Amino acid sequence: MSAVETATTVDAVAGDWQPTADELAGGLRTMLLLRRFEEEMQRLFLRGEIHGTVHLYIGQEAVSAGVCSALEAGDWVAATYRGHGAALAQGSDPEALAAELLGRRTGTCGGRAGSMNIVDLDHGLVGCFGIVGGSIAAATGAALGCRGGDRVAVAFFGDGATNQAYFHECLNFAKVLELPVLFVCENNLYGEFTPLAQSTAGADIAGRARVFDIPAARVDGNRWEVVAAAARAAVARMRAGEGPQFIEALTYRHLGHSKSDAGRYRPPEEVEAWLARDPIDQLRATLADDERADAIDAEVGGELTAAVERALAAPFPDPAVDRATEYAP
Ligand SMILES: Cc1ncc(C[n+]2csc(CCOP(=O)(O)OP(=O)(O)O)c2C)c(N)n1
Ligand SMILES: [Mg+2]
């Protein structure tokens, strides 16, 4: 079975939520913000403005945009080194995020975290983690603090992270304590340069959650409204005290693993098939209002251009005066 065929083998999503045109437009706006932000970061990286590396989220926008649309203020999210999307979907300021990647003092973490380790507690972002699977443990810990209330925590992580020991430890712990944590596996079919089938026994990631008796849905992660519906259903169950939930979202990164990777290990026809399933194109088609979609795109683009200009004009941290070792919210 090809990777595209695999992605169409998905579960029906429970719940009767039908998005309005305004909700679809809101989802499109978030996804366009994520896409245009990443394109700006790619340009800045190629111009030598961003040091280290950057893991771009282009192609996977429907996952975090869909899931975070189901959350409320006070809920927590933990994400990976590919976490700019989750940060923006949670409402992080694009100018501060751009400044962070540029190492500026006005960055989300004062310019000291860079791309991979962003924390934005004001917007419910527990953190982005360079350690594969770190987000799973962080969100499980955040969910411990949510017990007895109606707040929830979400962990975003990749398919490769499901082979980490603490994936299994945290799912077990969360179920035993019935913690309100939503585990969201962004299954993009590769861990760095290795196809899923070569690293992951059984290849049934949602099934790994079901053995812990955690309700799990396998969904088309390139359809915003499908992800959003699954997330709404899962979040409602968590707020009702039904314990941890799991979503496996099938998706694909359009670009390489990180900026040093051209992605040549992927068959061209596979890449083409997934590009034809671009999540933004699909939501535009669902919205069926090109004039509105174009206006949103132009507005987001204008806001981002201005935000990046301001971020580039900001100063670098001054070691003599700026705090160096701790995050000060
Ligand atoms: C604990 C740990 N082991 C190995 C690595 C090196 N590493 C970085 S990303 C990555 C692949 C992860 O793949 P996946 O979880 O599918 O996420 P994706 O990059 O596809 O979003 C690996 C092995 C790491 N950062 N942390
Ligand atoms: Mg992966």
DSSP codes of every residue in 110-160 = TTSSTTT---BGGGTEEEEESSTTHHHHHHHHHHHTTTTSS--EEEEEESG
257 lines ligand 1 (CB under 6 A): yes
Give the closest ligand to the alpha carbon of residue 188.
2
Can you give the pLDDT at residue 4? 44
Can you give the pLDDT at residue 16? 75
82 lines ligand 1 (CB under 6 A): yes
In a domain, 8, yes or no: yes
Can you give the pLDDT at residue 7? 47
Per the structure, the count of domains in the chain is 1
pTM across the whole model: 0.95
C-alpha 91/C-alpha 132 separation (Å) is: 24
Nearest CA, atom 25, ligand 1: 131
Between the CA of 237 and the centroid of ligand 2 the distance, in Å, is 27
Q: Residues 145-164: what's their mean pLDDT?
A: 96
In a domain, 48, yes or no: yes
Indicate which CATH number applies to the domain containing 169: 3.40.50.970
Tens of pLDDT, residue by residue over 93-134, are: 999 999 999 999 999 999 989 899 999 999 999 999 999 999
In a domain, 100, yes or no: yes
Give the closest ligand to the alpha carbon of residue 187.
2
Structural domain for 298, as ranges: 3-313
Give the closest ligand to the alpha carbon of residue 157.
1
Task: Taking each helix axis as running N to C, give the angle between helix 224-239 and helix 21-46, from 0 to 180 degrees, rounded to the nearest 10.
Answer: 110
Tens of pLDDT, residue by residue over 163-215, are: 999 999 999 999 999 999 999 999 999 999 999 999 999 989 999 999 999 99
Q: Residues 304-327: what's their mean pLDDT?
A: 85
In a domain, 318, yes or no: no
266 lines ligand 1 (CB under 6 A): no
Can you give the pLDDT at residue 140? 98
Tens of pLDDT, residue by residue over 42-79, are: 999 999 999 889 999 999 999 999 999 999 999 999 99
Can you give the pLDDT at residue 328? 56
In a domain, 65, yes or no: yes
In a domain, 116, yes or no: yes
In a domain, 153, yes or no: yes
In a domain, 320, yes or no: no
160 lines ligand 1 (CB under 6 A): yes
